[in-house]
Amino acid sequence: MPTVYYAGDSTVQTNDIATYPQTGMGQVLGLYLRADVPVSNHGKNGRSTKSYIAEQRLSPIGERITAGDFLLIQFGHNDEKEADRSRYAAPFGEYQANLEHIANVALERGAYPVLITPLERRRFAPDGTPGDPTHGEYPEAVQQLGERLGIPVIDLNGESRKAIREAGPEGSKEWFLHLPAGKYAAFPDGKEDDTHLSYAGAVRFADIIARGLERLGSPYDRILCPRVKEEEVFVSGVM
């Protein structure tokens, strides 16, 4: 059976008890896959496409991925940090070139790459009004690259923004690290973090990935487990 490889940043990575309850989407994606389809999660906190490649984090994927496997590619949060030249990659320049380089690791070995637009951050004004989109031109850069190369794209950015807005300023908090002081050893002073995910958030947004694979059809939908109807899992966008 195929393996699903996942390259990305902190919204993807597998966490341990040192950062509990932070959870990455690659950590829970297996909930949506057939039991005989393993996930090899190569997400790493703080990485952009530029730093991921520079640190040779593609090497373990390239050494193992084979024909018929899948490579999910999700970056953007750190590529947009212009002040950090070790990570910054302009959306319609180096970012697209780096994404193409990563996708080629799969294509050259007969595997299936899937580009994923970056997860939206939670943003609301004090009056509860949804904030502006938080990733600028990066989601569109992914979409255009996918169209140019003929590589499928899952619009996690647009779908997550819709889900966050539907859940509202209070309901969406459970998907991110809004933690009280004194409850978790990793965050003794508490935390209000609208980028990194809780377990509930990782599951909610991994659902978007799974449904995106489902819409792509064969061969992408063949790795998915039997699905329950959305209304039986999520109510008004909140798990």
**Is 86 a known active-site residue?**
no
**Is 172 a known active-site residue?**
no
Instruction: Choose the catalytic residue: 10, 48, 160, 172.
Output: 10
Report the first-to-last Cα separation within the chain, whole angstroms: 31
Instruction: Choose the catalytic residue: 55, 147, 170, 192.
Output: 192
**Is 192 a known active-site residue?**
yes
Instruction: Choose the catalytic residue: 42, 77, 135, 196.
Output: 196
In terms of Cα–Cα distance, which of 12, 107, 20 is closest to 69?
107
Structure tokens at 227: 């699905």
Active site residues: 10, 192, 196
